[in-house]
A and B are shown apart, each in its own frame.
Chain A
Amino acid sequence: MSIELNAVRRRSTPHGFAFEPIFEGLCFGAATMLLIALGGVLVALTIGGWPAFSKFGLDFITGVTWDPNPEHEVYGAAGPIVGTLLTSALALLMALPVAGGVAFFLVELCPTFLRRPIGTAVELLAGIPSIVYGMWGLFVFAPFFASHVETPLMSAAPAGSIWETVFSGIPNGSGILAASIILAIMILPFMAATLRELLSTVPAQVRESAYGLGATTGEVVMKVTLPYVQRGAIGAVMLGLGRALGETMAVTFIIGNSHGFPKGMFDSGSTIASTIANEFNEASGLQSSSLIALGLLLFVITFIVLALARLLLRNQVKA
């Protein structure tokens, strides 16, 4: 009897059964490794940055003086923090409408024979290394921006008005706004490609029925396809924002690298990533600890941004 049962069991075992635990183990291992790596980075940054946090306390976040001279060193990261948030927000503000436009055009309006070349071009743009954007920004974009945008705007701003403050700075093509524009160009293809993928997942019936009811292309986009992919679209935007927050080389080349608060759009500033890139090579002691602490702050800021995005998403889905 039992012998017979065993025989039945053996026959019912699927062919690849022996590999199943190995496969599951590998997948589990991959996922755990990610968590371990993330946790390891967090722990390493906290340990490395601890001397700076314990020495300066809250002043490390609110202070505006960044003085690396060992004789009177003080590290306050408020300037780089503001610079990071400001450039990323501006970049997102500029890139989002354009990325949306590119995606809508490709999915809704583009003639079929152009769809592939334009789509590939967008993906190629996403693959350009950031140092190339940085060099292009410094040697090509900055001189153009200085003579065609900054100088006219600065001379057009009425004296004493708010615009004079907004457009203050050095008209040489570097600064907060220039860095934001370079960032926008960098995150644009990334966001456009993701949005395009999302929009093409909208079932043809949904779209066609809207057209059938007499909706225009604009109405279809705004009222049908966009709400349909809302959840994923916010994810795409957050990925773009994440890249903007951590972008290093291109920004370092063009932001002007002065610590402290920028006074206007054309004034020079710094971001967390650019400060680390500039100073880590030659740093030691408290300075290198402060730079590691900056890294932890960037980690926390990125985490907060992602958490906010999740929150936003949850509220919208409920509504």
Chain B
Amino acid sequence: MIKTIVTAAAVTAMVAGAGMAVAANISGAGATFPAPVYAKWAEAYKAQTNNALNYQAIGSGGGKKQIIANTVDFGASDKPMTSAELAANGLQQFPTVVGGVVPVMNLPGIKAGQVRLTGQVLADIYLGLIKKWNDPVIASWNKGVALPNLPITVVHRSDGSGTSFLFTSYLSMEEPKWQAGPGANDAVNWPAGLGGKGNDGVAAFVKQTTGAIGYVEYAYAKQNNMDYAVMRNKAGKWVMPTAANFAAAAAGAKWNAAPGFYLLLLDQPGANAWPITGATFILMHSKQTNAQSGHDVLSFFDWAYKNGDGAAAGLDYVTLPDPVKALVRKSWKSIVGPNGKPVYP
């Protein structure tokens, strides 16, 4: 009799425990760029832990608005907030995966990786100052390449996007005239060319226009075998857009010296670092009103840091180097619940 009661109690406890695990339902919203990998992680996480993640890819701007309004457990953005912005909104951010921007071209007779571009040349092309592919400035970096006598058609993103933000930030760093002109933003007043909607819109215009140049996310360029350009990095080396070179940019970055992880990974030191690299970020409130939901979010990303690299690489995202992950985990200590204690672990 007593035994039966004990068993029943144990079963009840187990059911209750399982019930609590099911209750964990994390909500997030924001950037579209990392949405596929978050979905993949969420699927695997749910299979293992039974905890669900509901992520809405509404765009980085929307993600910021939602987390500031506190309607989601976390926001996601391709454009990091400065430490002043973070402090003003009581937020904290950390990177999850790394991506990059790749210049792609359509030149007859020229294969992927044959044309070399510097940041300044790229900026001058996008400013409309360099108008022909056989311009002496381009030719001086490409001795031995038969550059055609074709007008350059500039293709940019028409929609506001983190990709454009990284690209224009890079151009601003490399060419003062770009910084003084269009500047860096997720949408700018483009001085030249035409705009395609999304990566596929840009890619379609580049493919259809002889002599076109555009820029797309690395994963998109790779999956569609687009003809990319080789870029010169800070170390003066010519680098290809490969996963290893994006990782090199992330590894060489001084995350330690970046308060609030505000780091664009543009033009980073390192012999192999691809110059137009950027991380995507998660935004959370430093003071969680509900310690449990904060705990659930951080458990998910901790799990993803531990187990998610394979899935991310399969989707052509570049994962963070281990020392950076360790730094991020340390930063989680300052995300506290109502009682002032860290919500995780």
Contact = CB atoms under 8 A, between A and B. Distances in A.
Contact of B209 (A72, A138, A170): A170
A223 B183 CA distance: 61
A319 to B, nearest CB: 46
A259 B204 contact: no
A69 B183 contact: yes
A284 B195 contact: no
B185 interface: yes
B185 A257 contact: no
A67 B201 CA distance: 21
A138 B201 contact: yes
Nearest to B207: A143
Contacts of B209: 146, 170-172
A258 to B, nearest CB: 5
Q: Does more than half of chain B's interface fall in helix, strand or loop, or is it mixed? A: loop
Contacts of A175: 194
A99 interface: no
B208 A173 contact: yes
B185 A70 contact: yes
A278 B59 contact: no
Nearest to B190: A258
A60 interface: no
A161 to B, nearest CB: 21
Among A138, A175, A257, chain B packs the most CB atoms within 10 A around the CB of A257
Interface in A159-176: 170-175
Given A69-B189, A174-B205, A268 B160 contact: no
A239 B82 CA distance: 49
A284 B65 contact: yes
A210 B182 CA distance: 66
Interface in A127-147: 138-139, 142-143, 146
B153 interface: yes
Interface string B174-215: 000000001111111110011111000100110011001000
Contacts of A283: 61, 160
A221 B234 CA distance: 73
Contacts of B190: 258
Interface residues of B, number: 32
B268 interface: no
A39 to B, nearest CB: 27
Contacts of A282: 59-62, 159-161, 186-187
A279 interface: yes
A284 B189 CA distance: 16
Contact of B184 (A69, A146, A173, A256): A69
B134 interface: no
Contacts of A256: 194-195, 205
A318 to B, nearest CB: 46
B13 interface: no
A67 B195 contact: no
B58 A146 contact: no
Given A174-B205, A279-B159, A268 B212 contact: no
A112 to B, nearest CB: 44
A64 to B, nearest CB: 11
Nearest to B186: A282
A104 interface: no
A146 B208 contact: yes
Contacts of B212: 172
Nearest to B79: A282
A235 interface: no
A278 B189 contact: no
B194 A174 contact: yes
Interface string A247-282: 000001100111100000000100000100111011
A69 B185 contact: yes
A287 B187 CA distance: 10
B197 A253 contact: yes
A71 interface: yes
18 contacts: A68-B160, A69-B183, A69-B188, A70-B185, A172-B153, A172-B194, A173-B208, A252-B158, A253-B197, A256-B194, A256-B195, A257-B194, A268-B194, A268-B195, A281-B59, A281-B61, A281-B160, A282-B61
> Lowest 3 CB-CB distances: which A-B pairs, in order?
A282-B160, A257-B158, A257-B195
Given A69-B185, A257-B196, 4 more contacts: A69-B189, A172-B153, A256-B205, A281-B58
